[in-house]
């Protein structure tokens, strides 16, 4: 495994960990006052129609994290095989697109969140591709 591959896997692992945290925020904490405040929902009555969207978005983020984690394990098993890298890159690419969509639709208020969502997987892609 090259140094760039290792850096890419660490960055991908960071991105996956962030997406697990997003899952917790969206699917678990959204039901609580703290979670609603994080998303700018003031009244509990206002959160009921949004809860379905929040939970589904959280599960989507968890699924992305799982895909990237599976890819990392595949690379760890055989760093010369292309399959693991392809899985990590595909999962990270979706994370980058989601971060870009958030930046385009919710900037400037959520720009820091969009950058946190999109930059680590983007750097992971660059490192993994360059390390091959």
Q: What is the pLDDT of residue 66?
A: 98
How sure is the predictor about 62, in pLDDT bands with cuts at 50, 70 and 90?
very high
Q: What is the pLDDT of residue 117?
A: 94
What mean pLDDT is predicted for residues 120-127? 98
* CA pair distance 84, 66, nearest whole angstrom: 13
What mean pLDDT is predicted for residues 69-76? 96
pLDDT at 128 over 90: yes
Classify 15 as helix, strand or coil.
helix
Q: Give the pLDDT confidence of 37-56 residue by residue, as tens digits.
A: 887 777 777 777 788 888 89
The dihedral over CA atoms of 15, 59, 48, 105, expressed in degrees to the nearest 10, equals: 50
pTM above 0.85, yes or no: yes
What mean pLDDT is predicted for residues 18-41? 87
Q: How many helices (H) and strands (E) does the chain have?
A: 5, 0
Q: What is the pLDDT of residue 129?
A: 94
Q: Give the pLDDT confidence of 88-114 residue by residue, as tens digits.
A: 999 999 999 999 999 999 878 889 999
What is the H or E stretch that residue 81 is in?
Answer: none
């Amino acid at each position: 495994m090259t140094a760039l591959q290792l850096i890419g896997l660490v960055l991908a692992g960071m991105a996956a960990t962030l997406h697990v945290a997003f899952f917790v925020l969206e699917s678990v904490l959204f039901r609580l006052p703290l979670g609603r405040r994080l998303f700018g929902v003031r009244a509990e009555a206002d959160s009921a129609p949004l809860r379905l969207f929040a939970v589904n978005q959280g599960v989507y983020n968890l699924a992305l994290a799982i895909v990237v984690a599976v890819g990392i394990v595949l690379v760890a098993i055989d760093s010369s095989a292309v399959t693991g890298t392809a899985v990590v890159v595909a999962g990270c690419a979706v994370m980058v697109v989601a971060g870009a969509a958030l930046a385009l639709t919710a900037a400037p208020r959520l720009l820091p969140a969009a950058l946190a969502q999109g930059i680590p997987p983007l750097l992971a892609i660059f490192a993994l591709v360059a390390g091959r």
